[in-house]
Structure 1
């Protein structure tokens, strides 16, 4: 090419290939001087690296509106992948099928996916467990009953006392303590559909996908009402916008707020439960009245609950002489996941010895006590972090239950 301006810009782009503004300037000059195909290649290269680049999209639209003309220049060197030649149809404008074939290795297609919704009826469950299947945890059940279940079961009393069903419930506490199981039990208690989602279900690959997923999630919940919509890892999905490193995450929080408020829609029959291990990272706007305005602290299981969990995980295994009360007394502070691991280790120990001796034996107390001695309760680090937040962080009263528990347990 004998144009000194274009040659100089091309050399500059070759020296700084990641400079999008410089490459788009080259594309503008190329288009102004009639080199449509090269301009298209340069703009497509920018879009391949940054699909959301508004200037590159404008450039692409301008190029596609420009009739292609033959270029009286020497063939472009094969050394540059970005300089692909785009065929055009004779007399009618741009040949889309040929362009897609030529640019497949340069830019992502403008439209992706098969148009299927992110959520559909296959994501709906019908739990059969109820709160009666939850061992122990009396205070948690009472809190669920007073704050959530009683108003739902008694519409006449709800109307008499003017009790609103707006808002949801935020469950928080150490990991592995049964928040998901409780949410499932609430759905079973109400005879409602159950939809459970986490961060990986919400986040999309392309700009705007995550916000659309939030809207589709609530549409599904409304169609299946009554529905218990359970959002796990709400601290990741609805994290404080001041902490969000990407603007896309702020958009997800805004979409979640709009759906919780029911803007343009009726959330009647949609009961939102959310769970988090880090409630202090949840955006404060999500905890305002009418949203996730009620909180429930789900602590490590009490002695009665620990017995129920151990019984559940030992059921169906060959055991003998197991004193559940003694084991429960020796596992204070263990989460439900920790107790499941105790049973797994005990089974593993018995299996290994049976394999060595060639004679199967039953799992006994010695195996279980040995397993307990090998495990450090996983709730300890969380409680230490919580103690620091309660002592030194801002508290608007959300963590009153946690503060009282720490005081009673001697951690404050």
Structure 2
């Protein structure tokens, strides 16, 4: 059976329909074969029709694979026809594992854009050994969550030359003043169930990493729940997304697989003082409701009300999404040499990552470029297969160079030492 280079699973979903456009462009650039996959042929046809108008090409004859995450045999058939599956079907907590299993068992590499630590770490725990055995790479968090942060810390590491003691990330998302939601409902739903099942994550981590990382000699202190960031001249608060958990898994990889000193990580979001207050207010209500079944039902059924308009089941309006951009600044402190250090960190590296259209632009680009790297640079990936975070998987590849050419840019410089 011939395999398509890239198969977009969930091509008719909120994100998948945009991934189609990016894969079409990549296929022309690299001479690749590709297909779309999903459970509803008419919806797939409609997506291809819409994409045809956007990219000014006839995509309606693109191969279509009909499969459903509730039908394991159909997923297996899809995987057997794929070299790399780009999995766009979330929340991954509910719909991800069966796709990963199908890919691992049937020899297809798997890329997803999950920002769900519970799912990501469970996949590593349950499928890493089998993926290694079958020569399959499974790399999650390959969208806005968490390519900028995880590949950003790899850029800091390379620019530092020596050991990196700590990395702090500061995320600034600019959202235009246009009516409509700013956050996809799927992201909201993932957060609800991630919070509700946070205790499960503790058990997964204990099984995945039974031993603690060695304690750092020079401690990185958390900055607090609300503070003024002098470096960025803005108020900030801890970023509650998946970045830190993904970055720490990459640190685990460097420590366990390459015997390198682990780096301390903290992640923050920049906001106005007023938006910090609103975020904390919504967060308190959210955490209270997400902790019980009735509250979760309220949050899922009335997202617009409980998010103060930030979330809608109708998705983010295209004009608003197109103009929602991000800038992430990473500050790494360390040394220009490796080994034991008798002096505190004396070298500071700054990496700035920028991207446009957080949800449907930068995320799609990151996913597709990650898929191309797995397809074309297998010899530069760790080992012979396995389940990895992007920073560890792609540390020795050209992913950053590829993204720099496609509007997700990484710039690093030494600002001290």
* TM-score between the two structures when normalised by the length of structure 2: 0.24
**Higher share in helix:** 1
Higher percent of residues as strand: 2
TM-score of the superposed pair, with normalisation by structure 1: 0.25
Higher gyration radius (CA) = 1
> Relative contact order: is structure 1 or structure 2 higher (C-alpha 8 Å, sep ≥ 6)?
2
